[in-house]
Amino acid sequence: MNEAQRLIAEARNVAGKSYSPYSKFRVGAVVIAADGTEYSGCNVENAAYGASICAEANAITTAAAHGVREIDTVAVTCLDGEGCTPCGNCRQLMREFGVNRVIMTDESGAPVEYPLDKLLPMSFGPDDLQSSRSVDQ
Ligand code: THU
């Protein structure tokens, strides 16, 4: 099993914890921080649908809560449906923490990799603000 397959297997595992009673679409994500530490998350829905949280957002914000400010890789997969690609909001969340590599799955469940700049071209990020964020904030 290569690294991408291992990450997708872990994403499938955390997708099993998904709280998705409305969509019944279970998603899991794993992020690898720049220091190699891994964090995972699943989607967590809400009766007020707009308050729902994607799996990638859960994993990224969990990493941030542990002090992570640089993320190298995000892997995402779902248990109910033929592959899933990150929503626009999650691509922007990835942009904030410098994600390079996004791993998702094709219809057969095999890992496929894309650089974030291919999924979010001409993006707006921290460097585009006059007062760019400090790594301490
Ligand atoms: N979802 C994710 O968690 N990540 C994605 O990449 C696509 C969509 C969730 C949001 C919602 O809970 C459910 O999947 C259906 O959209």
Q: Which of 22, 87, 102 to mutate to test the pocket of ligand 1 (most atoms within 8 A of CB)?
A: 87
Residue 134 has pLDDT above 70, yes or no: no
Sorted by where each begins, the domain ranges of the chain are 3-132
CATH 3.40.50.740 fits 3-132, yes or no: no
Catalytic residue among 38, 45, 56, 82: 56
**pLDDT bucket at 114, cuts 50 / 70 / 90:** very high
List, as one string, the DSSP characters of 22-70.
Answer: TT---EEEEEEETTS-EEEEE-B--SSGGG-B-HHHHHHHHHHHTT---
**Choice among 20-24, 83-87, 88-92, 120-124 with the minimum mean pLDDT:** 83-87
Radius of gyration of the chain (CA): 14
Q: Would you say residue 55 has pLDDT above 70? A: yes
Has residue 58 got a pLDDT over 70? yes
In this prediction, residues 69-87 reach a mean pLDDT of 94
